[in-house]
Structure 1
């Protein structure tokens, strides 16, 4: 982590020198010296970040380097701020202007002298750590071989467990044994992936030792790879195991063989034999690629099984040069977690009733992670079961227990190992997750925009910073350090989360490295120089007398009090980059923020703010302005001064009823919006006034990825088509007409937007735009209030990648037919308020991948879709506000009951008094309405409907 801090300083120094900033004598020399020294220590920091876990002296040195880097960054930012203020200042003309210029020169000279003195003091400390650096390099020049991996000595315990200690492995073991014994005669790879502590090694060893597996594979070898492996030693170990397996003595020459000779020997030994090789703990594809060519594809039914924490390693290894399979090892279910917990905590006895609540809480924190359950229950086994307070202390302070209890040392190291393996830029991104409260679902785009604002994302040619951020997020998911919580129908990550125990680890690391300070009801003492402050639940623990002058980021989660920056932080924070007040009870725009020159991210989402001051034009570095679901409906013209603005989100869902056409409010935009050339997301613009002028301006925003337009008129169609043709990066387009019967005219488009993935249209269509079926990237299409006379399915059925289709009052005919082999990738289909619809036909082979079908408010539909039995992948069939007579046809003894028996989930929902009620089909018989009790699907439906509308 110190490496990232040093990198930030070096980037700022480079920027100063590149811009040829006018540095006073002394300041330049100090800056040049600082850059040189930091570049010298940077290379060692990558190793030191891992080695510090086992060496206290090194840990102190890394902390000193990090503190120096933070101080240097602050000094350089203050200097840049001084330069900017001097550049922007208007001194006027005449004698008074001359006097003001002279006064500013004197003031700047004093400030520059102070900055030069501060840099000089920093460089004095840099010299001291430079001497320590040279000594540490000498001390650790031979330590790389096993650094950070001493825990591996205990890792072998997973191979020695008794069967009685194993829980939840029967099903995965059976699956893996089947994969090994069955399949083709060619060589296949079977991968097991999961986060650290999930039990991958234990599972693989149970499969490896299975009697049927032993009988089937006469030649077997177990190879532990891990992070510190030496390729030659690994190959040599494999050769020795193989010779032993075939009952031949290992030749003495093996000791002196080079890697190529060892690989040749392995290949010769295995060439005509059916073998099983287990590669345990593979960390990256380079390790797999270095080994795989030594293992021949000998057409004998040989198998390779590997375990890894990284899902991309698992899937790639299983799919390259073989027809293999990848198994994603899941957490233990609650019942088996409880069984394992009680075995360890109570020596196979039952949990005493008075401890059940605490034990259930601790078990929820473990989230089915076997290593965590075993380790923490082992700690609890030493507690007196009569002392409720002892157990409560462990439950309330799991983070401190993991950090300080020797019995949890292995758990900490296993969970920390994945963190230590991260490159420095991903370490910053991962530690950043500590700002979010426990069990918080982290919005994907919110997180990526925050990473960008913090400067964590490294620019890559041909990609936007947000696209690089997507890669970073995917890498953390691949490494099992984050978990996908929800996805969109087309498979994009919507929200993600972090395992509770991993969160405890990174909170501890964040605190140690002064990365983030978390303030909640039972908070520890603040660090001396807070850089990121995340306030959870209450403002009562914010001490107004504390200096936060070096604060870079401020967050509030679940705060119920009215936040006031002057009252909470009277000394101010002029270097702030991020201010996130999302979902706080803020009523007025905090005018203090307009003086925050470095502010890049400002979120007032879901607040009660109504107006934005004209002074917002002073925020020249602002990249994200998020006013979504606030009460802002208009922005001042000064917003056009924010030339670095990348994301402008200003809209509000006003849900009155599910039939409401105007359910979304946007904002009025200024006619020359085209000057904001950096914009990537612009939602939602109301274009009913000066529509064509505004729409033509939008064509200048060639970086736009997502665009939302409201209150469109028919006469705006030609200008809109012209602008869409220029927006070659557009991925998502949302259009709504000014009123329900206003025609949207999009027939003037000469070339379709090839990268468009999501298209939402709300309003009347004379005909389906001809170019929609020509969109190769389209995955989601929503047509609402279109009132098409011709069957749209004829034109839409061959869109190659369409995954989700929504039709709401989109068609006025009485029959829809899904033809054979149409909609080949469609997974979700919604048919809503098709008032004339009487018949739906599904031909065999149509919608072969459909998983969810929703039919609602089609009042004349009397039967379930004809041919619904052909939809073999259908998992959910949902009827909403449909006639009771139709429901009776699929009840027990109903004429269509047999057609829907293959569908696992069948619901009938009704909108009543502002909420959803979910019914079982059987309860609808004879007009009886019995809502299902405690059905979580009801809440999910209501949330989904509101967000969808």
Structure 2
């Protein structure tokens, strides 16, 4: 029993470390976690206490049958052990500009206390969480600020030391020589490597950044020496020792277009999860991405995103089942540096509701506070983009800025609870990006047709019944709709948008048949159909969807056959089927009647890649057409 009890305690400690390591495990910065071996020295300080506990519990166990008090004690300990083994653990990040309600909802989700906390009031959330945690919880706080750590009693504080020479060297080699098999530093570079590590002063993030920067250089003395000389020039009295100068060198090494993408990531709040698709939309609309060779803008942008991750300037948070980046985050130290750089270059300014504030000549404004009264209108004529990252904002207080920002090309209101768009928005004739995803707006007004330069409009619940004004949206290339109640009669209204390149229907289609007529959507490259429970038949006429590259069906349980006419889509490269009818899955897997399977598969033999997945049956399979006329698994 003694070993079990102490084992539970040590197991919890290990689980906590493993959880943190797993959270950041996909990026190189998470290799800081492998360097947490330095923390084990602190843990070993508790070894004597654990041994004393073991000795005491062993002695108590010997007398449990002869001493009633001891027997009750050991029984309670055993019960506690069983309860502890089934306990929960959660990790919640609290940023500097956090919102209390959002934090409570995250805690509720982490502990699975409630299934949906979206519409719960704060008082109710507090009460539920209190009852769940009261009397049986322990809190671990981590911070780089001494003031936060000092809130704990002195015997409960652990101050982490910088990495020692051994662990610093291991982390550096993993970063700098990640492309080599043995991850070893050549002898001719070891002296320079030691100099780099001296600059890092044992800080894992600094080691990771400089290591990743060197990993994209040729492993020669001259290449490394030029980086070190640049580091020497950039060295100064840093607020965060050893990091700023390294980040300056890393930033200077970025190509111009990649530098803009990096600085743009700083507009998001601290610890914000940056979705891949949202980032890519922002970058394209901002003009940071140019087409290269045969790659689309989206492909180029995704390459830039992966490059920033490979340089440890962004951390991977989540990947999808195909290993593709789903979301990432910017380390708060890196974000601090990026914001400082962005402010100096008038690239962007973040408003967090503290003190006086002026837009000045910045080109992008990020609003991270509900208190927008102090926003100064000076310089708003220079604004190119406004991003709002707070759920509750009085849109009326933004009216003066919107009215004066005649050059505004991006307005992202995603996640805000606004009920309607102010009229000032429809006078922003340069607007190219209008982000309305997850807002409280129920109906998209006809006046949106006045925004003739609009390229991307994201997720609106209902469209206007009359779409005559939409004929003027000649530049609209990306449209995402949710809960729009489209059917066989209303869907053809979308076909006036002939320049659409991407169409995303999320719980937006309620019809049984979806028909694409001749010459409909001539430039559409990506089509996503999500959660269409009634959809049972898709018809594609010849000369429709002439440029389609990606076709995606997810959550269409009545779809029992491949789209009729899919063989006409000669440009189609990817077909994705998730949670379709069993009949369709059996056809794809060639488990049905032989002739029927062969006939259906011939229709998609020209498609390079077909993915199909079943959430209920927990399987995913990819079929790749390698030859151009036959499938190979």
Structure 1 length as normaliser, TM-score? 0.39
Q: How large is the Cα RMSD of the aligned pairs?
A: 4.7
Deviation at 1:474, TM superposition (A): 1.7
Q: Which segments of 5 or more consecutive residues in structure 1 lack a partner in the other structure?
A: 1-163, 181-187, 193-203, 209-218, 229-278, 293-305, 310-401, 653-663, 787-791, 803-821, 825-949
The change in CA–CA distance for 1:475 and 1:801 in structure 2 (over 3 A counts) is: farther
Q: Deviations over 1:46-90 (max 9, x none)?
A: xxxxxxxxxxxxxxxxxxxxxxxxxxxxxxxxxxxxxxxxxxxxx
The change in CA–CA distance for 1:280 and 1:752 in structure 2 (over 3 A counts) is: closer
Contact 1:578 1:601 in 2 (8 A): yes
Which structure has more relative contact order (CA 8 Å, sep 6+)? It is: 2
Deviation at 1:447, TM superposition (A): 0.9
Q: Does the alignment pair 1:287 with 2:218?
A: yes
| CA distance in structure 2 between the partners assigned to 1:168 and 1:721 by the alignment | 67
Contact 2:434 2:454 in 1 (8 A): yes
Aligned residue for 1:641? 472
| CA distance in structure 1 between the partners assigned to 2:533 and 2:171 by the alignment | 59
Q: Which segments of 5 or more consecutive residues in structure 2 lack a partner in the other structure?
A: 1-160, 197-209, 228-233, 589-599
Deviation at 1:459, TM superposition (A): 3.1
| CA distance in structure 1 between the partners assigned to 2:587 and 2:459 by the alignment | 34
Deviation at 1:534, TM superposition (A): 0.8
Deviation at 1:284, TM superposition (A): 6.5
Within-5 A mapping of 1:181-220 = 190-191=182-183
Aligned residue for 1:720? 540
| CA distance in structure 1 between the partners assigned to 2:569 and 2:494 by the alignment | 25
Deviation at 1:799, TM superposition (A): 2.4
Deviation at 1:456, TM superposition (A): 1.4
Contact 1:431 1:507 in 2 (8 A): yes
Q: Does the alignment pair 1:673 with 2:508?
A: no
Which of 432, 441, 444 pairs up with 2:264? 432
SS at match of 2:190: strand
The change in CA–CA distance for 1:711 and 1:516 in structure 2 (over 3 A counts) is: same
**What is the total number of aligned residue pairs between the two structures?**
429
Which of 574, 577, 583 pairs up with 1:756? 574
Aligned residue for 1:682? 504
Q: Deviations over 1:752-811 (max 9, x none)?
A: 76521522354574762532985765464135899xxxxx99xx9782499xxxxxxxxx
Q: Does the alignment pair 1:799 with 2:623?
A: yes
The change in CA–CA distance for 1:452 and 1:174 in structure 2 (over 3 A counts) is: closer
Deviation at 1:434, TM superposition (A): 1.6
| CA distance in structure 2 between the partners assigned to 1:705 and 1:490 by the alignment | 18
Q: Does the alignment pair 1:695 with 2:516?
A: yes
Aligned residue for 1:65? none
Within-5 A mapping of 1:710-859 = 710=532, 716-717=537-538, 719-720=539-540, 722=542, 726-734=545-553, 744=561, 746=563, 749-750=566-567, 755-760=573-578, 762-763=580-581, 765=583, 768=587, 770-771=600-601, 774=605, 777-778=608-609, 780-782=611-613, 799-800=623-624
Q: Deviations over 1:19-45 (max 9, x none)?
A: xxxxxxxxxxxxxxxxxxxxxxxxxxx
The change in CA–CA distance for 1:784 and 1:444 in structure 2 (over 3 A counts) is: closer
Contact 2:432 2:455 in 1 (8 A): yes
Structure 2 length as normaliser, TM-score? 0.57
Contact 1:485 1:496 in 2 (8 A): yes
Contact 1:224 1:281 in 2 (8 A): no
| CA distance in structure 2 between the partners assigned to 1:280 and 1:708 by the alignment | 43
The change in CA–CA distance for 1:741 and 1:604 in structure 2 (over 3 A counts) is: closer
Contact 1:615 1:638 in 2 (8 A): yes
Deviation at 1:635, TM superposition (A): 7.4
Deviation at 1:649, TM superposition (A): 0.5
Contact 1:698 1:723 in 2 (8 A): yes
SS at match of 1:683: strand
Q: Does the alignment pair 1:651 with 2:469?
A: no
Within-5 A mapping of 1:43-122 = none
Contact 1:626 1:647 in 2 (8 A): yes
Contact 2:367 2:389 in 1 (8 A): yes
Aligned residue for 2:283? 451
Aligned residue for 1:597? 429
The change in CA–CA distance for 1:173 and 1:751 in structure 2 (over 3 A counts) is: same
SS at match of 2:623: coil
Deviation at 1:492, TM superposition (A): 1.2
Contact 1:602 1:624 in 2 (8 A): yes
Deviation at 1:551, TM superposition (A): 1.4
Aligned residue for 1:244? none
The change in CA–CA distance for 1:633 and 1:761 in structure 2 (over 3 A counts) is: farther
